[in-house]
Every structure is written in structure tokens, then in C-alpha cells.
Chains A and B, each alone.
Chain A
Amino acid sequence: MASTVIGAGIIIEGEIVTDEDVVVLGTVRGKVSAKEGVTIQQGATVEADVVGAGLVVAGTLTGNITAADRVDLQAGARVIGNVKAARVTIADGAQFKGNVDMDV
């Protein structure tokens, strides 16, 4: 149960900083910084650098991702940007262009 939800019709232009989970169904432009998980749902558009503990992307994301724990790009996701995380998964059917930086 996420505490912060950006609904499908909503556009946020600016910065989101939070200590809790964020679920994006709408549009965010700017920056997203969460201490917990960030979920970018199918149909969502995020043009922002995203920082979080764990990141699940099923929508469209343009920007760099930094996750303390893991990043999962699900089928249908469209991501342009660099990914930095301890663990990264890219599902079959996910579109991705960018660098992956895992602690090797």
C-alpha cells in the first residue's frame, strides 16, 4: 500500500521528495527521490531522475535511475537513461537504452 500515488490524470512538474513508497500512474517531470520503493506503472510517463530503494518500471521513463537495492524493468517498460543499482532485472519485452551500473 503506497502512501503517495500520482494518479493517471495528474501531471507534476517539479520535485517529489518522500520517505515512503511512490506509485506513479500519471506524469512526472523533474525529480523523484524516495527512501522506499518507486513504481512507475504502465501508462505512466516519468521524465525525471529517480532515486529510491527499489524501482519497478512498467511505464515510460526518461532519466537516470539510482536504486539502493534493485531495479526491475518489466515487460512493456520503455526506459532511456542510466541505471545504477545493486541488482537489475530487465524483463523480456522491456525497451531499454542506457548504461547499467551494478556493484560488480
Chain B
Amino acid sequence: MASGVTVIGRTTRVRGRLSGDGDLQVEGLVIGEIVTSGNVTIDAHGIVGANVRGRRLVVRGAVQGDLLGEEAVVLEDGARVVGDVRAPRVAIAHGALMRGLVQTGDDGSAQPPLIRAQPAAKSAAVPARVAAPAAKPNAAVAIRPAPVAKAASTVAGGAAGALRRPPPPVVPILKKTKGQVLKKKER
């Protein structure tokens, strides 16, 4: 507390890295990264698109990013969190919403999220985080794009094959549809 409290007010938007000592209260918007040795409170109006590291994190607002508490993470009523939560003690109150991995205990688990935090924060923290949770829950979906890519190549291959055969007297649009028909037959 010696270094005072930092307040990011309601109409304040911070884009970048926020680090240092002392407590932090976020009532506005922070996009980037938060690393402090003090406590972090994300107010009901607060929106954070960042990985947050602090001693004790209390969340009543929205967070997209990993929460890493040296001491504890408390998600209170109204909290909306998309990201992983790690701390020796984690509390999720009634009315708090979250999606992500929760890990309690202090078995050196403090490091992994921070290491992961570095590249994400450097590019664009928010889109990176949007992509990550989407990919996580459905591995099946992740497989799906591959056949699409394959199909695209078969379409190309089909078109190439069509060229070797006597060229059909059709306009290019119809040629394309024929390729798609071939693709369906192949399946």
C-alpha cells in the first residue's frame, strides 16, 4: 500500500502493459497486460482484455485472459471471465460466469500462464484469446477444417483432370460446378 492505489477510471482506456507495485483498481478498460505485486480489483464496470497477474485478484467485471493470483483469485457476482484461472486459492461466487481452466494450489503452477502470456500480449491479446477458447472445447471442429482444405485441393485436382479430358463446352462457372459435383462423387 506504500505505493498507493492505482485507479483506472470508468471512462479511461489503457492499451498496453501495466506493471509494477501497488494495488490496482480497474473501473475502465485495459487491453494488454497487467502485472503487479499488489492486489488487483476489476470493478463491475471494468473490462480487461489482458492476462492479469497479481497477489490477490478480485473480479466483478469482465476479463478475457488468464488470471494468475500469487495468493488468491476471487470471482464475485457479476464476474465474466474467459480464460484460465490459477492461484493457491480460487473462489467462484454464485453469479460469476467463467469459461476456462481452473487450477488451485501452489505447486509451482504459477509460471505456465505467464510464459504463455508474453506472445499473446505482444500481438493482439484479445483476438488471440478469442481464438484459443474456441479451439479448446471441440477438437472435432478442429479436425473439420482439414477436409475442407482437402476438398479444395481435390476441386483443384478435379479441375486439372477435367482439363486433360476433352474440354467440356461450357462457361467457366459451369466448369466450377462440375468440379464440385466431382468432389461430391468422390466422397
Q: Taking beta carbons and an 8 Å cutoff, which residues of A are in contact with B? A: 2-20, 22, 25-27, 30
The distance in angstroms between the C-alpha atoms of A18 and B14, with both chains bound, is 9
The winner among B7, B12, B15, B17 for most chain A CB atoms within 10 A is B12
Interface of B is mostly: strand
Whether the pair B4, A25 counts as a contact (CB closer than 8 A) is: yes
25 contacts between A and B (CB under 8 A): A3-B7, A3-B10, A4-B8, A4-B12, A7-B3, A7-B5, A7-B23, A9-B2, A9-B20, A9-B22, A10-B6, A11-B18, A11-B19, A11-B20, A12-B18, A12-B19, A13-B16, A14-B32, A15-B13, A15-B15, A18-B9, A20-B9, A26-B22, A27-B20, A30-B16
* CB-CB under 8 A for A17 and B12, given A5-B6, A5-B7: yes
Instruction: Give, as a whole number of angstroms, the nearest-CB distance from B27 to chain A.
Output: 8
Q: Judging by beta carbons under 8 Å apart, are B12 and A20 in contact?
A: yes
Chain A residues near B32: list those with CB within 8 A.
14
| With A5-B4, A7-B3, A25-B4: A12-B14 Cβ-Cβ less than 8 Å | yes
CA distance A25 to B16 in the complex (A): 18
Q: Closest approach, in angstroms, between the C-beta of B43 and any C-beta of chain A?
A: 12
Q: Is the CB of B11 within 8 A of A14?
A: no
Which of A8, A13, A18, A20 is B17 in contact with, Cβ under 8 Å?
A: A13
Residues in A neighbouring B2, C-beta threshold 8 A: 9
Q: Which residue of A lies closest to B23 (CB)?
A: A7
Q: Known: A12-B18, A14-B17, A14-B32. Contact between A7 and B4, CB under 8 A?
A: yes
Question: A-B contact count, CB below 8 Å?
Answer: 96
In the assembled complex, the Cα of A25 lies from the Cα of B3 at a distance in Å of 9
Chain B interface residue count, CB cutoff 8 Å, equals 29
Say whether, besides A15-B14, A16-B14, A18-B28, A8 and B3 are in contact (CB < 8 Å).
Answer: yes
Nearest to B25 among chain A residues (CB) is A5
Report the bound CA distance from A17 to B32 in whole Å.
14
Q: Which residues of B contact A7 (CB under 8 A)?
A: 3-6, 20, 22-24
Rounded to whole Å, the gap between the CB of B144 and the closest CB of chain A is 37
Contact with A along B153-171 (1 / 0, CB 8 A): 0000000000000000000
Q: Which of B12, B20, B22, B24 contacts A18 (CB 8 A)?
A: B12
Question: Taking the complex as formed, is B71 at the interface, i.e. its CB lies under 8 A from any CB of chain A?
Answer: no
Query: What residues on B are CB-neighbors of A2 within 8 Å?
Result: 7, 9
Q: CB-nearest residue of chain B relative to A5?
A: B7
The answer to whether B15 touches A10 (Cβ under 8 A) is: no
A15 to B22, CA, bound (A): 20
With both beta carbons as reference points, the residue of chain A lying nearest to B11 in the complex is identified as A19
- With both chains docked as a complex, state the minimum distance between the C-beta of A17 and any C-beta of chain B, in angstroms: 5
Closest to B6 in A: A7
